[in-house]
Amino acid sequence: MRYLLIILSLVFWSCENILKQDESELCDAGYTEFGYSCYYNDDINVLNLFIQNSGESLNIELDDSNNDGEISWNELCRQNWVNGRLEQFSVFVGEVLPENNCNLSGNIPDNIGNWSELKYLDLGYHPDPDNTSGLLTGTIPESIGNLSKLESLYLYNNSFEGNAPNIFDGLTQLKTLWLCNNYLTGVLPESLWSLVNLEILYLEDNQFEGQISPDIINLVNLKDIWLNDNFFTGNLPDGIYHLSMLERLFIHNNQFEGQISSSISNLTQLVKINIQNNLFSGEFPNEICSLDIDFGHTFVDDVYYLDYLWQNFNIENNYFCPEYPLCIQDYISEQNTSECEE
């Protein structure tokens, strides 16, 4: 009987060790087990630093895992993991509304470059009219340039400052870039013009300055560009008239000057253009009439959902001289013609 008990004890001990070994080997080294799945530690570390930097600003209403009154790494914002790596991260856990924002604050962690499998990153804020700026501050870290698989980058409506970093050479997959509504300054980085897959570029409502590089011609897939409400100067580069995919061109409220080229006829997909409140002069080219623009149409804002009304065509408050093309004669609005020849 004693020997039988000894044998049974050995069998039990062996089985217990096998179970423990199987449990401990569920995840490879460098991964953490949570809920019978494995998560990459370096990805988790970034999430924990976001939590640390944000402090009490986090939206505690989103504590939906254990309701302990704290936000843990697995509860932070909206995450999508594939094979243990973070591929999508968004501050919005549902519809893009202020109450659905997890309210990150402080600086973006420098180690965000560890999210090397990330394809989608949204750190923006809904532009609530009562609270137009988000809580993320500081400069945009250069380590974002390590996110080589990133396709969409949203950093809008925050309080970022300083120059936009020259990090875009490594972001070759990027299709959407929103840096709008911050306090970014200086000239645009040269690497920005290397984003050949870029389709949407929103840089409005910052403090950018200088001229637009002729290398904008490289953005062959660009459909939508908003540069308005900055301090850009100089003539529009010829390259902008070769962006054959361009549908929307919004460059109002700057200090652009010179004439609009007759090459605007190359922009065969263009349906919306706003160049009001600049220093453009000369005669507006007749070639504008070859484009499929509904010049008198207004539309509701479909980006920020604030019900703003926009015009398809707006060239108000420039220095354009008559005679004006027939198709836009009813939509010239106010022009300073003091320098025009009679």
* Tens digits of pLDDT across the chain (342 residues): 444 444 444 444 444 444 444 445 789 999 999 999 999 999 999 999 999 999 999 999 877 666 777 899 999 999 999 999 999 999 999 888 788 899 999 999 999 999 999 999 999 987 654 555 678 999 999 999 999 999 999 999 999 999 999 999 999 999 999 999 999 999 999 999 999 999 999 999 999 999 999 999 999 999 999 999 999 999 999 999 999 999 999 999 999 999 999 999 999 999 999 999 999 999 999 999 999 999 998 888 766 656 678 899 999 999 999 999 999 999 999 999 999 987
C-alpha distances out from residue 241 to 226, 238, 249, 261, 306, Å:
15, 6, 11, 8, 31
Q: Is residue 129 part of a domain?
A: yes
50 and 199: one domain?
yes
Q: Is residue 19 part of a domain?
A: no
Q: What is the pLDDT of residue 308?
A: 73
Burial class (CB in 10 A: 0-12, 13-18, 19+), 168: buried
82 and 205: one domain?
yes
199 and 276: one domain?
no
Neighbours of 335 (CB within 10 A): 19
C-alpha distances out from residue 59 to 75, 128, 200, Å:
11, 16, 30
Q: Is residue 170 part of a domain?
A: yes
Last residue of a domain, one of 193, 210, 227: 210
Q: Is residue 21 part of a domain?
A: no
Where do runs of H (alpha helix) occur along the chain? 2-24, 41-54
Query: Using the 8-state DSSP alphabet, how is residue 11 labeled?
Result: H
* Tally of domains in the chain: 2
333 and 313: one domain?
yes
Tallying the residues shown for the chain, one arrives at: 342
Last residue of a domain, one of 210, 242, 260: 210
pTM score over 0.85: yes
Q: What is the CATH number of the domain that holds 236?
A: 3.80.10.10
In 3D, which of 316, 310, 250 has the Cα closest to residue 284? 316
292 and 341: one domain?
yes
Place of tokens 């973006």: 108
Q: Is residue 1 part of a domain?
A: no
313 and 182: one domain?
no
- As a whole number of Å, the end-to-end CA separation of the chain is 120
Domain of residue 264 covers: 214-342
Question: Encoding tokens for residue 86?
Answer: 């973070």
Last residue of a domain, one of 178, 210, 242: 210
234 and 187: one domain?
no
261 and 193: one domain?
no
Q: Is residue 16 part of a domain?
A: no
275 and 196: one domain?
no
In 3D, which of 120, 92, 118 has the Cα closest to residue 104? 92
Question: Encoding tokens for residue 117?
Answer: 């499998």
Q: Is residue 49 part of a domain?
A: yes
87 and 226: one domain?
no
70 and 168: one domain?
yes
List Cβ neighbours of 24 (8 Å cut-off, separation of 6 or more).
Answer: none
Q: What is the pLDDT of residue 65?
A: 65
130 and 202: one domain?
yes
Q: Is residue 167 part of a domain?
A: yes
